[in-house]
Amino acid sequence: MTILSALATLYDRMAKAGEAPHKGFSTERIGAEVVIDTAGRLVAINPKLVPDRRRMVAAPIGVPAAVKRSSGIAPNFLWDKTAYVLGVTALKDERGKPKLVAGRPIPAQERRTADEHAAFRKAHRDRLAESDDPGLHALLRFLDGWSWEDFATRGFSTEVLDQNVVFRLEGEVGYLHDRPAAAALIAGEAGGDGPLCLVTGERGPVARLHPSIKGVSGAQSSGASLVSFNSTAYESFGKRQGDNAPVSEAATFAYGTALNALLSRSGAGPGRRALRVGDATVVFWAETEAREGDETVEDLLAALLAPPSTETQETPGEAEDRIRIAMEALARGQAPADPRFAPETRVYILGLSPNAARLSVRFWLPGRLGEFTRNVARFHQDLRIEPTAWARPPSVWALLYETAQQRDAKNIPPLLGGSLMRAVLTGQPYPRLLLAAVITRIRADGIVNGPRAAICKAVLCRNQKEEFPVSLDPENTSPAYRLGRLFALLESIQRSALPGLNATIRDRYFASASSTPARVFPLLVKTATHHLASLRKTDKGGLAHWLDSQIGEVWSGLAPDLPGSLTLEDQGRFVAGYYHQKFAKTAPKEVLEIAVEEEDSQ
């Protein structure tokens, strides 16, 4: 199933469950209502702002679908900004910022504002000319008699300036666009014959422009197109814009509405269906009938991709246990006790990233819930390392932080998030860029922690198909692994002989030791020999003996000639060996205390 057809099918389920507006409608932020009587006289202009944390914002309301406009003038039907509806806007300064008097904007009409209001009036005269509905006729009378100067002279609240506004007839609860006559007009304009739709296979009017998608991280706040033909370079055979790939207006509305609904539910609470992974925004959904307050499958998908949410009616422990039990059963190929976690449930995962005014599809992964769960369980198994690096299985997003300078999301290597997510969910090899990015960060900041060592281990396990050890393996014959162990022992000798050091050989030599060991280790071993001699003269003679014996054991498995250079994969083995040796539970108490203190300081 293609992306657009899957989203169009999702829209039908969401509309049935009341989670999406009906066809021909969209959910927009409405800041005020204009109340008129049957004679078209203005009764009131009421703000419709609602609290959102510490500020007031426009309320989301279902209205006739918004037109797509860039720089041109195109009015919406039965609602729009005050510039279109009332011909009035907030007076702007030379920088385009509203001028304030006593902290309030000043009502004004600019040249473009007059043109916008004229276009709004003309469009409604044309579309409502044949209607016999008294409410719609009242709107026409209002537009004929309204003057923008009336806004200031009648003292209406200036907080509604430049807000989207709707109309309501005095004495009624619903808005004009909710009246059956308005709905009939919208439905009638959506019908008709036309070319065959590539998404639905039905004939209908072709969408010239596709909807704007809002909520993708890094894209324009006004939205970006998933499908567009905005240049002759993308057109062919004399066809213009949407005619190049005919998709009906009904199908474009359906997929755009469904995708915007998924992206709008990107918070941390229950029912979230979107999250950010690197530079990609990931949306996911399942082919299940939604029920009020029940987003169990989406919760499970969110747990597979990111840590479980704690903002539920359950306690954090109950929520995590419920999802963990279901995930473990699915990973074993069993059906969980909860029938809503059916292994055969079809699920869809879509990764989007911004590309100028368009959206790029980073990955599209349709599949079965059980298959995805098994792949994620394998991902967690790849990351197992002792001592453990995480209190609970990590998300893909958590790994990407280890590749970013200063652990800042904007410094995550481009394309890495999408390729890593694809590898995790499909069981394919991890991107080699992941290992390269981690090694680069270690060489730059000298931090070798559990997550970074686990990443190195995971890439080696899957990409090199080797049985890499979870914990310290004295029998491992890999020269790179043994050199990593040797470096950890040499660092322990230095710290034991010179307590209180602000920097160790790791800060100065780790990068060169892990890439060109033959040049560095002779110097490090020579220095460590002097440190061991100093330790034997103190009360740490037993520790010196143990460290010396460990170095001998490591040397016994190395060739006389050390490698001149190590490949990227061998550098990963070096990092894992260093981590295993440094935190090995068989080490003396003094060495473990030094390692734990250093890990805490990172």
pLDDT tens per residue across span 467-487: 899 999 999 999 999 999 999
pLDDT tens per residue across span 195-219: 888 898 888 888 888 888 988 888 8
Three-state SS for 364?
A: strand
pLDDT tens per residue across span 263-278: 886 544 444 788 888 7
Across the chain, mean pLDDT equals 85
Instruction: Tell me the residue type at 230.
Output: N
**Residue 354 — pLDDT band, cuts 50, 70, 90?**
confident
Q: What pLDDT is recorded for position 511?
A: 94
The DSSP string of 523-545 is HHHHHHHHHHHHHHTTTTHHHHH
Listed residue (170, 156, 163) closest to 29, CA to CA:
163
Q: What pLDDT is recorded for position 267?
A: 46
Mean pLDDT of the 568-584 span: 94
Residue 34 sits at the vertex; the CA angle it makes with 30 and 39, to the nearest 5 degrees, is 150
Contact 271, 301 (CB under 8 A): no
pLDDT tens per residue across span 361-403: 989 999 988 888 888 889 989 999 998 888 777 878 888 889 9
**Max mean pLDDT range (20-24, 86-90, 368-372):** 86-90
**Residue 3 — pLDDT band, cuts 50, 70, 90?**
very high
Residue environment code for 509-541, b if the CB has 16+ CB neighbours within 10 A, otherwise e: bbbebbbebeebbeebeeebeebbeebeeeebe
Name the DSSP letter for residue 586: T
Alpha-carbon gap, residue 454 to 142, rounded angstroms: 68
Q: Where are the domains of the chain?
A: 31-190, 479-601
Contact 296, 273 (CB under 8 A): no
Listed residue (586, 401, 565, 570) closest to 489, CA to CA:
586
**Residue 316 — pLDDT band, cuts 50, 70, 90?**
very low
Residue 312 has pLDDT above 70, yes or no: no
Q: Give the residue ranges of DSSP H helices in 498-516.
A: 505-515
